[in-house]
Amino acid sequence: MTGQNKKIYSLASIANEIGATLVGDPDFVIVGLCSLPKASPDRLSFLSNSAYKHYLKSTTAGAVIVTKDDQLLFSGNKLLTENPYLAYALASRLFVDLSEVPSGIHSSAIIDSSASLAKGVLIGPNVVIEENVVIGQRCQIGAGAVIGAGAQLGDECSISENVVINKDVTLGNRVTIHSGAVIGADGFGYAFDGEKSIKIYQLGSVRVGNDVEIGAQTTIDRGALDDTVICDGVKIDNQVQIGHNCHIGNHTIICGCVGLAGSVTLGAYCVMGGGSGAVGHITLADYVQVSAMSLVSQSISEAGRYSAGTVQMKTGEWKRASMRFKELDSMAKRLKRLERTRS
Amino acid sequence: MTGQNKKIYSLASIANEIGATLVGDPDFVIVGLCSLPKASPDRLSFLSNSAYKHYLKSTTAGAVIVTKDDQLLFSGNKLLTENPYLAYALASRLFVDLSEVPSGIHSSAIIDSSASLAKGVLIGPNVVIEENVVIGQRCQIGAGAVIGAGAQLGDECSISENVVINKDVTLGNRVTIHSGAVIGADGFGYAFDGEKSIKIYQLGSVRVGNDVEIGAQTTIDRGALDDTVICDGVKIDNQVQIGHNCHIGNHTIICGCVGLAGSVTLGAYCVMGGGSGAVGHITLADYVQVSAMSLVSQSISEAGRYSAGTVQMKTGEWKRASMRFKELDSMAKRLKRLERTRS
Amino acid sequence: MTGQNKKIYSLASIANEIGATLVGDPDFVIVGLCSLPKASPDRLSFLSNSAYKHYLKSTTAGAVIVTKDDQLLFSGNKLLTENPYLAYALASRLFVDLSEVPSGIHSSAIIDSSASLAKGVLIGPNVVIEENVVIGQRCQIGAGAVIGAGAQLGDECSISENVVINKDVTLGNRVTIHSGAVIGADGFGYAFDGEKSIKIYQLGSVRVGNDVEIGAQTTIDRGALDDTVICDGVKIDNQVQIGHNCHIGNHTIICGCVGLAGSVTLGAYCVMGGGSGAVGHITLADYVQVSAMSLVSQSISEAGRYSAGTVQMKTGEWKRASMRFKELDSMAKRLKRLERTRS
């Protein structure tokens, strides 16, 4: 339980911060958060997954966030709320080290004289900021990050170590980009001349909205003609690849290792499960959820959950089933024939 | 429509550059390229996908690249060519910012005295060039890139920000490597001694041919004994993993998120679709195309298209189908039995 | 056959180093290792894959590592051992450039005065080491790497170029991390408030045991509450994503492009094949092996091999089969019906 920065709160103050109703000792001291099974008496836990309900009897947590309906299952201090998971998210902010970084520009940073840096920025060691870059207020740029010519960052962006933001990329306010991500590399486009691939120069850029989070090592390519667009509130995990001219709708969630080919349009409030993918030039409606490692190869016009693939089997059984998959069309025809001969 | 660098051409000069036949006003001024649906009257568009043909009536593009067969579908200025997509690729070069970078070595670059840099190179901030490196003419090395000892780059290579090229890697001429790619990290090899994994030191390197492009965050491992080889004209997208001792044939295309295990041999002019993969020690013939997210687990000796996996379904239906997949061998046997009892 | 550093050994000394029995000329000079098909008379090869047995007749290798049972198949100098692949691994160490790097701190490195560096460390150009970092003896940190505040590295760790180790991450002894890897970025966690995603701050860290190797561009996220844990002897290839609060058991192997969602527990001595994945909150027993590109979506309590997916087919045939997959539940029911009408 490292990293919780030795912050201390009374239970009453936490209840107040997260908008929960306190049942128990208002002066009870909480030093951090914990899960129900790995708890300690000076920490606050929560029940959001009903499969964990039985832990409420045995947990050693000093206090627990629960719903009214579940409050009788735990005898200690409680914080009551309709959505314990959301309350936990709000509480997590109290225990993280967010505020104390002073602004300043490290002496090793290399900043073009034409760049414009607003007040309160923190620029780390070895950062490179090229010509005509605009950096908004209170942005933080981690060590080794490179901000390409003409890029524009809104206010309060947090760019981690060794991130590369290529030229002319624009970020809204409160955009967080984790280490090693590359925003605005060339899209992957070639025309074949009969012998070799001729590069299609990528003339668009990338536009990222407000309150977007982008994971470590994720790549978002610049557009071929128009821009690649990431709308407000989108959250993207690590190792994701977003091809040129994709358009990701508001508040969509893209889990780790997802790959989107070029010109994919995702609606708002979609969820792409880990390792899932989409072929180029297709459109998904709002509120579409794609299961882990499923490929979407056709547009989806109706909200809902979609899956592809097969489930895990012991490899011996799987081999037999997958060999039969090859015969599946023949099996279907033979079944049809048998049905006909019956009638 | 950012990033098109305010270049301006007459339609006649573009026709000349891309080898097309002009039908219309030779002095018509073009300020950039655009797609048919998102066009503007001062831009040039193209029709390469017949599904977009209906846009020719409504597009506001100032001129369009089309085939002779389609020329009557558009009433404005036209550039006629047999392959509009190729013509578009050639035109894209006209609107990108390619030439104006002056050569020079940034004062913060750390270059070993034994390294050899040809004339016209551009070395960015914080670049590290180790001992005995050879850099060819007019190479450009972006900020934060590291070129390991003994690596050799041909002429006119473009190495983007934070790329790592490990020791003894060789690149041909006109190799482009996008941000964050790592060329020549250790291959993944261990022998199991009954208790633990014993590292197999990777004694080979990586050899990259001419006119190769390698995407952001892509990794190409050094060989165990011999070298990993990327032949001329190969194009590799982002987030690709190429294992030790792979051999990628001329002009093969590897889309984003592909993973190749060790000692995979791809022929010439292959296409590995996005997210596809291959197990180790297999060989694919020339002109093999593998669909997105398909695994190749056996060698392929015949050119053509190959696929694996299942198609997307609503998750409820998919669950039923995938449960039945587990019974597939039994179903096949029962079908056979029914057929026997019929005859 | 680059990179073998011109080291020279007598066959007798190699036999001694790898614990093999020499049959042949003890003074025979070996300048490197090679495979059987690409051999040369001054190099040592090995037979570990029985499919390569026929090469023993034609190989030009100067000596070969074989089992006693296979020794008659090769007429030249031999090193006999029970496990030729392991012997080759041990021999590979003899030909790699391991030792000669002198310790020292490059003048461009930026090291906080509160950091503690043990003796014998090698700190490369542009390395950034933040406050309260502890670096053990003989660690090597490559150019451009960033070690975040409070991180602790044991002895003899090797951190390659542009790696990012975030704050409070701890590494054991002899941990190797290849270029571009990011250890300790935020886990991917949000609670939905009905309109938008609320960030769950990630309060845990990452703990890595002894003798762990982590590939290029791999990402291992910090835990939400507890730490993400990588146990002793684990080997992780390139481009792997390990979500928050995963727990990877001793000596488990994770091949390239694997993605593990949050809170996945892998047992000891597991193998996750290339491109495979696991959904969150599941547990795999010890000695589970998952095939390439297979998704594990349920816990596995029994050792053994598991697979998912379908095998490669020509795309035309695959289309028919995958369309039938959609009818599979219906086919199963119709088959059942036919069987009933027979009896």
Sign for the CA dihedral angle at C22, C28, C30, C34 comes to: negative
State whether residue B197 is helix, strand or coil: strand
When CB atoms are compared, the residue of B198, B227, B335 closest to C335 is B335
In B, which residues are within 8 Å of A202 by CB distance? 92, 96
**Domain end: C68, C95, C122, which one?**
C95
In B, which residues are within 8 Å of A244 by CB distance? none
| Regions of chain C with pLDDT less than 70 | 1-5, 98-101, 342-343
**What is the reported pLDDT for C3?**
42
pTM of the model: 0.96
- Report the CATH number that the domain containing residue A174 is assigned in CATH: 2.160.10.10
Q: How many CB pairs under 8 A join A and C?
A: 241
* C291 touching A (Cβ < 8 Å): yes
Indicate whether A81 and A109 sit together in one domain: no
* C131 touching A (Cβ < 8 Å): no
User: Do β-strands C228-230 and C206-208 pair in parallel, antiparallel, or remain unpaired?
Assistant: parallel
Residue at B324 is within a domain: no
Distance CA B64, CA B85 (A): 11
Residue at A124 is within a domain: yes
Indicate whether C222 and C341 sit together in one domain: no
Residue at C2 is within a domain: no
Distance from CA of A104 to the nearest CA of B (A): 20
Inter-chain CB proximity B307 and C318 less than 8 Å: yes
Query: Which chains have 3+ CB pairs within 8 A of B?
Result: A, C
Query: DSSP readout, B46-70?
Result: E--SGGGTTHHHH---SEEEE-GGG
Residue at B37 is within a domain: yes
Inter-chain CB proximity A219 and B238 less than 8 Å: yes
Task: Of A122, A135, A132, A130, give the one whose Cα is nearest residue A161.
Answer: A122
Indicate whether A327 and A283 sit together in one domain: no
Catalytic residue from among B178, B244, B247, B281: B244
In B, which residues are within 8 Å of C318 by CB distance? 291, 306-308
Residue of B nearest to C92 (CA): B201
In A, which residues are within 8 Å of B90 by CB distance? 191, 198
How large is the ipTM? 0.95
Indicate whether A270 and A332 sit together in one domain: no
Indicate whether B121 and B25 sit together in one domain: no
Backbone angles phi, psi at C14, to 5 degrees: -65, -45
Q: Is residue B129 pLDDT above 60, yes or no?
A: yes
Confidence of residue B2 (pLDDT cuts 50, 70, 90): very low
Segment C210-231, tens digit of pLDDT: 999 999 999 999 999 999 999 9
Segment A111-138, tens digit of pLDDT: 999 999 999 999 999 999 999 999 999 9
Inter-chain CB proximity A259 and B251 less than 8 Å: no
When CB atoms are compared, the residue of C205, C307, C323 closest to A313 is C307
**Cβ contact B301:B285 at 8 Å:** yes
With a CB cutoff of 8 Å and minimum separation 6, the contacts of A330 are: none
Inter-chain CB proximity B313 and A311 less than 8 Å: no
Task: Of C6, C179, C236, give the one whose Cα is nearest residue B190.
Answer: C236
In C, which residues are within 8 Å of B188 by CB distance? 215, 235, 237-238, 255-256
A85 sits in which H/E element:
helix A84-92
In Å, how far are A20, B269, B288, B292, B305 from B272, measured between CA atoms?
Answer: 53, 10, 8, 7, 10
**Cβ contact A136:A115 at 8 Å:** no
Count how many domains chain A has: 3
Inter-chain CB proximity A326 and C335 less than 8 Å: no
Per-residue pLDDT of chain A in tens (343 residues, 90 and over written 9): 444 567 899 999 999 999 999 999 999 999 999 999 999 999 999 999 888 999 999 999 999 999 999 999 999 999 999 999 999 999 999 998 766 567 899 999 999 999 999 999 999 999 999 999 999 999 999 999 999 999 999 999 999 999 999 999 999 999 999 999 999 999 999 999 999 999 999 999 999 999 999 999 999 999 999 999 999 999 999 999 999 999 999 999 999 999 999 999 999 999 999 999 999 999 999 999 999 999 999 999 999 999 999 999 999 999 999 999 999 999 999 999 998 886 5
When CB atoms are compared, the residue of B146, B259, B324 closest to C332 is B324
Catalytic residue from among C54, C106, C178, C244: C244
**What is the reported pLDDT for B163?**
98
Catalytic residue from among A244, A247, A251, A281: A244
- Tell me whether residue C247 is one of the annotated catalytic residues: no
**What is the reported pLDDT for A53?**
93
When CB atoms are compared, the residue of A239, A295, A341 closest to B309 is A295
**What is the reported pLDDT for A206?**
98
Domain of residue C337 covers 318-343
Residue at B316 is within a domain: no
Indicate whether C86 and C206 sit together in one domain: no
Classify residue B119 by burial, with Cβ atoms within 10 Å: 0-12, 13-18, 19+.
exposed
Q: Return the bridge partners of B289, or none.
A: B271, B305
Angle at Cα C46 formed by Cα C42 and Cα C50, nearest 5°? 145
- Report the CATH number that the domain containing residue B48 is assigned in CATH: 3.40.1390.10
Indicate whether B150 and B82 sit together in one domain: no
Distance from CA of A238 to the nearest CA of B (A): 11
Distance from CA of A112 to the nearest CA of B (A): 11
When CB atoms are compared, the residue of B148, B227, B259 closest to C2 is B227
Residue at B315 is within a domain: no
The residue that leads in pLDDT, B49 or C306, is C306
Q: Count CB-CB contacts under 10 A for residue C96.
A: 17
* B209 touching A (Cβ < 8 Å): no
Indicate whether C231 and C160 sit together in one domain: yes
Segment B192-241, tens digit of pLDDT: 999 999 999 999 999 999 999 999 999 999 999 999 999 999 999 999 99
Segment B83-120, tens digit of pLDDT: 999 999 999 999 987 665 688 999 999 999 999 999 99
Residue at C238 is within a domain: yes
Indicate whether C110 and C157 sit together in one domain: yes
Q: Is residue B3 pLDDT above 80, yes or no?
A: no
Give which of B177, B312, B337 to mutate to test A binding, by max A Cβ within 10 Å: B312
Percent of chain B with pLDDT over 70: 97
Indicate whether C42 and C125 sit together in one domain: no
User: Do β-strands A77-80 and A104-105 pair in parallel, antiparallel, or remain unpaired?
Assistant: unpaired
Indicate whether C173 and C227 sit together in one domain: yes
For C:156-175, CB contacts with B below 8 A are 160-162
**Domain end: A95, A120, A142, which one?**
A95
Residue at B117 is within a domain: yes
Indicate whether A66 and A131 sit together in one domain: no
In B, which residues are within 8 Å of C235 by CB distance? 188, 190, 197
**What is the reported pLDDT for B99?**
61
When CB atoms are compared, the residue of A200, A241, A310 closest to B88 is A200
Q: Count CB-CB contacts under 10 A for residue B102.
A: 6
Sign for the CA dihedral angle at A189, A219, B261, C60 comes to: positive
**Domain end: C43, C68, C95, which one?**
C95
C314 sits in which H/E element:
strand C313-314
Backbone angles phi, psi at B275, to 5 degrees: 75, 5
